[in-house]
């Protein structure tokens, strides 16, 4: 006797349906497609010619796919496109050891449904400084000449055409971490080829903590301006500015600061501009941060605050007669000392 058996399949058993369609743990057609793509990538990851098995990300072994960057010949040498293996990740600002060199991840794709990819730049300079506790910090960074347009436009805009290279300033991308988080405006560095005999010194004049940060990780962008070497505290042999022996305490601030101006703290509405200068007695050149504080009833459109130099601004009033505004200036030196001053300015009629 022949017995025929039939398997009864519950057409409503979605878990079984997903398994036979290679879409286990997927809740939609899109998820099942992504699942198949990720499985294919995982299966063929090590077979590609761009697979680099001996790469490290932030000190941890992580094989990566490292591809040429599509650009001019100079960019191909300084930039690489990278892809992480399935179930692995790197962050914006991660340091990568590859081809015997240090690289910094400066871009990542934010749509990571299929794979994590990004761009890394070649680190070309070991920025060195002495921390507040006396320890020596060395951070590999991307150092380049400061570039802008003739009109001051953003060089990344398609409309920007005429590039201007400022030989007295350097642009630096550096990993955001516990050590770099303590950097302050006014910090001085040697940025030059070691052993040149008369290396150039630069002062940190602008610290961008936002443009290259994502989910609390990323890079700081530093702008450093050329300054003079101080033979009393700068050690050329160590390539360290403001060096002090380990254990020696930080110097205490001894200077006083003020906002200087001509005449009385009065500004005529509709009249000419008035200049204000931030001065510190023991600092040759202070790069001040200015802020104009207004009462709630006054509009910002009534005033125009313009920078004239690192330590001087001009203020013009178009309205606000009968009110008083407060102009504040602050400066933080390389040791973390904060200097600040303010002046209350009365707005009066032109005649």
C-alpha pair distances (Å), 101 with each of 113, 177, 265 = 30, 20, 57
Do residues 115 and 161 both lie within one domain? no
What predicted TM-score, i.e. pTM, was given to this entire model? 0.62
- Considering the domain architecture, whether residues 110 and 30 belong to the same structural domain is answered as yes
Length of the chain: 351
Q: Is residue 148 domain-shared with residue 67, that is, in the same domain? A: no
Q: Are residues 205 and 283 in the same domain?
A: no
Q: If 0-12 CB within 10 Å is exposed, 13-18 middle and 19+ buried, where does residue 237 land?
A: exposed
Q: Could you tell me where the beta strands, DSSP code E, fall in 228-302?
A: 257-260, 266-268, 274-280, 289-293
> Do residues 129 and 89 share a domain?
no
Boundary of a domain, candidates 70, 104, 121: 121
Q: Which of 65, 51, 40 is nearest to 119 (CA)?
A: 65
In a domain? residue 5: no
Q: Are residues 218 and 163 in the same domain?
A: yes
Is residue 66 assigned to a domain? yes
pLDDT at 7 over 90: no
For residue 155, the model assigns a pLDDT of 46
- Look up the CATH number of the domain holding residue 82: 2.40.10.210
For range 228-247, the mean pLDDT: 87
Q: Are the C-beta atoms of 117 and 83 separated by less than 8 Å? A: yes
**Which DSSP letter does residue 302 get?**
G
Question: Taking residues 69-87, what's their average pLDDT?
Answer: 75
The per-residue pLDDT for range 83-104, each reduced to its tens digit, is 887 777 899 999 999 999 999 9
Q: Would 1 be classed as within a structural domain?
A: no
pLDDT for res 12: 47
What confidence tens digit (pLDDT) does each residue in 324-337 have? 999 988 877 666 56
Are 142 and 61 part of one and the same domain?
A: no
Does the residue 238 lie in any domain?
Answer: no
Same domain, 301 and 208: no
**Could you tell me if 110 and 130 lie in one domain?**
no
CA–CA gap between residue 188 and residue 225 (Å, rounded): 9
Is residue 295 a part of any domain in this protein?
Answer: yes
Together in a domain, 332 and 316? yes
| Same domain for 116 and 179 | no
Average pLDDT along the chain: 80
Question: Which residue, of 227, 247, 275, is where some domain finishes?
Answer: 227
* 74 inside domain: yes
CATH number of the CATH domain containing 340: 2.60.40.60
**Does position 160 have pLDDT exceeding 50, yes or no?**
no
By the 8 A CB rule, do 179 and 143 touch? no
Q: Is residue 9 in a domain?
A: no
Residue 241 maps to a domain: no
Q: How confident is the model at residue 202 (pLDDT cuts 50, 70, 90)?
A: very high
Alpha-carbon distance of 230 to 307, in angstroms, equals 28
| Structural domain range at position 165 | 125-227
Given 100, 121, 142, the domain boundary residue is 121
Co-location of 85 and 66 in the same domain: yes
Residue 318 pLDDT > 80: yes
What's the total number of domains in the chain?
3
């Amino acid at each position: 006797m022949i017995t025929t058996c039939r398997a009864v399949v519950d057409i409503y058993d979605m878990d079984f349906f997903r398994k036979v369609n290679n879409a286990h743990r997927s809740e939609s057609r899109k998820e099942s497609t992504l699942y198949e793509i990720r499985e294919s990538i995982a299966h063929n990851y090590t077979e590609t010619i761009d697979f680099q098995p001996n790469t490290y990300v932030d000190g941890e072994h992580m094989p990566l796919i490292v591809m040429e960057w599509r650009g001019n010949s100079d960019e191909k040498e300084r930039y690489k496109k990278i892809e992480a293996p399935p179930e692995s990740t790197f962050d914006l600002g991660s340091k990568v050891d590859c081809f015997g060199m240090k690289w910094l991840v400066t871009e990542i794709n934010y749509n990571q449904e299929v794979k994590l990819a990004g761009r890394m730049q070649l680190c070309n300079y070991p920025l060195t400084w002495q921390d507040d506790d006396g320890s020596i910090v060395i951070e590999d960074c991307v150092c380049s000449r400061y570039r802008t347009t003739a009109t001051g436009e953003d060089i990344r805009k398609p409309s920007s055409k005429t590039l201007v290279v400022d030989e007295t300033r350097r642009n630096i991308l550096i990993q955001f971490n516990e050590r770099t988080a303590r950097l302050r405006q006014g910090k001085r560095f040697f940025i030059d080829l070691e052993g040149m005999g008369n290396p150039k010194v630069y002062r940190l004049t602008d610290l961008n903590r936002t443009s290259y940060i994502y989910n609390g990780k990323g890079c700081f962008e530093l702008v450093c301006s050329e300054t003079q070497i101080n033979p009393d505290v700068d050690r050329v042999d160590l390539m360290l500015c403001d060096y002090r022996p380990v254990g020696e305490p930080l110097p205490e601030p001894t200077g006083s600061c003020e906002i200087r101006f001509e005449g009385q703290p009065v500004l005529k509405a509709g009249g000419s501009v008035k200049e204000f200068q931030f001065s510190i007695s023991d600092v040759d050149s202070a790069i001040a941060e200015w802020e104009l504080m207004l009462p709630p009833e006054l509009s910002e459109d009534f005033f125009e605050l313009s920078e004239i130099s690192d330590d001087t601004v001009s203020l013009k009033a178009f309205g606000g007669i009968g009110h008083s505004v407060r102009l504040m200036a602050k400066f933080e030196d390389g040791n973390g000392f904060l200097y600040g001053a303010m002046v209350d300015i009365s707005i009066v009629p032109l005649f």
